[in-house]
Copies of this chain bind each other. A is one copy, B any other.
Amino acid sequence: MANIKDVAKAAGVSTSTVSRTINNSSSIPAETKARITEIMKQLNYTPNQNAKSLTTNKSYTITLIVDVDDEKSFQNPFFYEIMHGIEKYVYNKEYSFIVANLKTMMKKQSVLDWLIRSKRTEGVILPSSMLDSKTVESLRKDKIPFVSIGEPIHLKDSITWVDIDNKRGAEVAVYSLLENGYKNIAYLGYDNTKLFNQRRYEGYLNVLESEKIKINPSYIIECNNTKDNGYNHTKTLLNLGNRPDAILCADGELSFGAIKAIQENGLSIPSDFGLISYDETKIAELSYPSISTVNVDMFEMGTQCAKLLFDQIENHQSINQGVLISASLNKRETTK
Contacts and interface: CB of A to CB of B under 8 A. Distances in A.
A117 B17 CA distance: 21
A285 B49 CA distance: 47
A249 to B, nearest CB: 13
A256 B286 contact: yes
Contacts of A107: 94
Contacts of A73: 80-81, 281-282
A101 B88 contact: yes
A93 B260 CA distance: 48
A175 interface: no
A128 to B, nearest CB: 19
Interface of A: 1, 44, 46-51, 53-54, 59, 61, 66, 68, 71-74, 77, 79-81, 83-84, 87-88, 91, 94, 96-101, 104, 106-107, 109, 111, 114-115, 117-120, 227, 253, 256, 260, 281-283, 285-288, 299
Contacts of A49: 59, 118-120
A80 B80 contact: yes
A87 B109 CA distance: 17
Contact of A99 (B72, B81, B87): B87
Nearest to A54: B50
Given A49-B59, A91-B111, A98-B98, 15 more contacts: A46-B114, A47-B118, A48-B54, A49-B120, A50-B50, A61-B98, A71-B84, A71-B299, A73-B81, A77-B282, A84-B101, A87-B100, A91-B106, A96-B120, A99-B99
Give the interface centre of A49, A283, A287 by most chain B CB atoms within 10 Å.
A49
Copies in the complex: 2
A295 to B, nearest CB: 11
Contacts of A109: 46
Nearest to A46: B117
A206 B84 CA distance: 40
24 contacts: A46-B117, A49-B118, A49-B120, A50-B53, A50-B54, A66-B87, A68-B84, A71-B84, A72-B81, A72-B299, A73-B282, A74-B81, A83-B99, A87-B99, A87-B101, A88-B101, A96-B98, A96-B100, A96-B120, A99-B99, A227-B285, A256-B286, A256-B288, A283-B283
A243 to B, nearest CB: 21
Contact of A100 (B59, B91, B118, B287): B91
Nearest to A79: B80
A106 B93 CA distance: 9
Contacts of A77: 282
A288 B49 CA distance: 53
A325 to B, nearest CB: 14
A118 B51 CA distance: 10
A286 B285 contact: no
A53 B53 CA distance: 10
A265 to B, nearest CB: 14
Q: What 3 pairs across the A-B complex have the smallest Cβ distances?
A: A46-B117, A50-B53, A49-B118
Contacts of A72: 81, 299
A289 B323 CA distance: 41
A47 B118 CA distance: 6
A99 B61 CA distance: 11
